Amino acid sequence: MTVTLKDFYADWCGPCKTQDPILDDLAEEWEHVTFEKVNVDENQDVANEYQVRSLPTLIVENEDGVVERFVGVTQADKIEAALESAGA
């Protein structure tokens, strides 16, 4: 099953910078998961499609759609649980 984690961020967002190293570590461990960074300033249409209102927002999805949504800095264990739940 294809699992994707979308990281909605902005360059000016302090909490987004805090989230980055957590996601970098997870991307190394979860090589079979697609990690996508979505700059909301450059991709407002995608942010609107996913109804992103706060940053950072992380969305875990699979072929069935959105499995989990996190708003704010999220720790690795919660993200990993969502990845497993999505079928990664």
Residues marked active site are found at 13, 16
Tell me how far apart the alpha carbons of residues 59 and 44 are, in angstroms, rounded to a whole number: 16
Distance in angstroms (rounded) separating the CA atoms of residues 85 and 16:
24
**Can you read off the two tokens belonging to residue 65?**
């759609």
Task: Give the separation between CA 84 and CA 56, rounded to whole angstroms.
Answer: 21
